[in-house]
Amino acid sequence: MIVKISPKRGSSPVNLMAYLFGPGQENEHRENVHTDMRVIASDGALGVVAGQRLDVSVDRAEVVALGQRLDFAKRMFGTEVPGGHVWHCSLSLPAGEELTDEQWAAVAHGAVEAMGFTETGGKAGCRWIAVNHGTSSAGNAHIHLAVNLVRGDGTKASIWNDRRTMSKYAAKVERELGLFVVEGRAGAGQRGLSRAELERAASTATEPERVRLARIVRGHAVASADEAEFARRLLDDDQLLARPRFAAGGQTAVTGYSVALLPEGSDRPLWFGGGRLGADLSLPKVRTRWSGDPAEAVGAWAGRGTPGREVRVLAAEAWPAATAEIQATTARLVAFGAMDAGTWAGAMREAAGVFAVLSTRLEPEGGPLGEVADALAALSWPRHESPRARRAKAVAGLRGVAMVCRQASRNGDDATVALIIAMFLCVKAIQRARLATEHAAASKRLLAAVQRATSTPLAFPAEVVDEPAAIEKSVRATRSAAARSTSPAADRAAPNRPAGPPPARPPSPPQRRPGPDLGR
């Protein structure tokens, strides 16, 4: 949950109410154009009820009267509050996550109580209101809190350390409702896009660069057998620029990396450190996927050494073999049933990588497959007091599947669609199990993403949406295959794999002059 407290307090509740119940602004990125303005909760003295809808263009007199009632104590006592007496705060969720109005009301009541604005502490209460007016242009469901800092007896409410207080309260809500953890709390979660990134994406009519970079890097991570291969895949990818960050004193140890999309023309590349892409993509986090000594990958990061399996071109027959591996993985997951949270997180992390590779290859500008990949990745991030993603043997075969999706030749769409259908069924099996162990809000984004993806022009068959029957059918058909399956699909199905050493690595794209680095 993202907390944003207005840096400048106001002095006119009437103007704030006119804004919150007004049309909004066309050029906003944090706030959407307002379409369904309604009261979520309020102080009882205001005389409004939860769910009441107001529109300043129709109900102007009522909106003005509401602002005046909110301002009653200030007008009655004339108490001066340095900096303004109207405290304004928004509480928003990561894109795709939602709460009911009843849940938002509970969140609003808890927030004003945490801030000491109510009578709970023995002081006179402040008048306040919580308003919802739709989802932001970035996809964030959110509410606004407006509070008159002059209490009912004319004294002033304290807002000392309000940002820390609200951050702690947001962490409590995340834990209790099973919401995504905002990065910086518990060292995990999702970083929000900056206004500059949103504006840059809007100007080019493409998805934000950081979103696409995260997907590309995540796909490389799940397709790689070790860190050296991961480094080679990054350095050789013709869509991006990559550079390692060496420890001080030379090139004997790598402590991080940065990537940027290959710029067009004379544009400067916009660099992002791995940790800025996602909670799972910093180099220390990515290293948990593999065993071995990181020192063995230093040569690969420096552009030295021999190319590996990442340069192989796999035959088209690898697609059906990869589909069989996905079906076997689904059967294993269903057979295992109630696994621990860390193992389920590992399953979602690997599945996110497969969908990331599919999106990168099949959706040049991003699309529904990428949305599923992003939702899976977000669900795999740790929450408060929950275990981190573990390397799960049950889904180890998905690494070979990711390699096939990236490197196998395509011979028509049938084999590709069959593989995607198998992955949807695998993800739905994971999602169903996740619902049994986590709050439903934690998996709602994933379910919505899968539903949108299966309604695309690919025309997936009806059984993809009717997942219980399809999953059971898949389990029955592949249970024996699951027992026999011990190795990734890509290593079993590559009939044109060349004998001897792999071919020479294709030349890396020309390096451009360095651009701004937006963190590590």
Contacts of 55 (CB under 8 A, 6+ apart): 21, 22, 37
d(CA 148, CA 43): 11
Q: Which residue has the tokens 């938002």?
A: 104
- Where does residue 457 rank: exposed (0-12), middle (13-18), buried (19+ CB within 10 A)? exposed
Q: Which two tokens stand for residue 34?
A: 């307002």
- Do residues 287 and 272 make contact, with C-beta atoms less than 8 angstroms apart? no
pLDDT of 267-286, one tens digit each?
A: 788 899 998 888 789 999 89
- What does the buried/exposed string (b/e) look like for 247-285 if buried means 16 or more CB atoms within 10 Å of the residue's CB? eeeeeeebebbbbbbeeeeeeebbbbbbbbbbbbbbbeb
Q: Which two tokens stand for residue 507?
A: 């030349």
Residues, the chain: 520
Query: Over the Cα atoms of the chain, what is R_g?
Result: 26
Instruction: Give the chain's residues under pLDDT 50.
Output: 27-31, 186-190, 384-385, 439-442, 457-520
Could you give the domains of the chain? Answer: 2-177 (3.30.930), 214-311 (no CATH), 318-492 (no CATH)
> What is the predicted pLDDT for the residue at 434?
63
> What is the predicted pLDDT for the residue at 187?
46
d(CA 143, CA 86): 16
- Do residues 259 and 217 make contact, with C-beta atoms less than 8 angstroms apart? yes
Q: Which residue has the tokens 């690595």?
A: 505
> What is the predicted pLDDT for the residue at 501?
42
> What is the predicted pLDDT for the residue at 346?
81
- Do residues 296 and 305 make contact, with C-beta atoms less than 8 angstroms apart? no
pLDDT of 106-120, one tens digit each?
A: 999 999 999 999 998
**Residue 382 vs residues 190, 195, 376, 385: alpha-carbon distances, Å:** 10, 26, 12, 8
> What is the predicted pLDDT for the residue at 472?
44
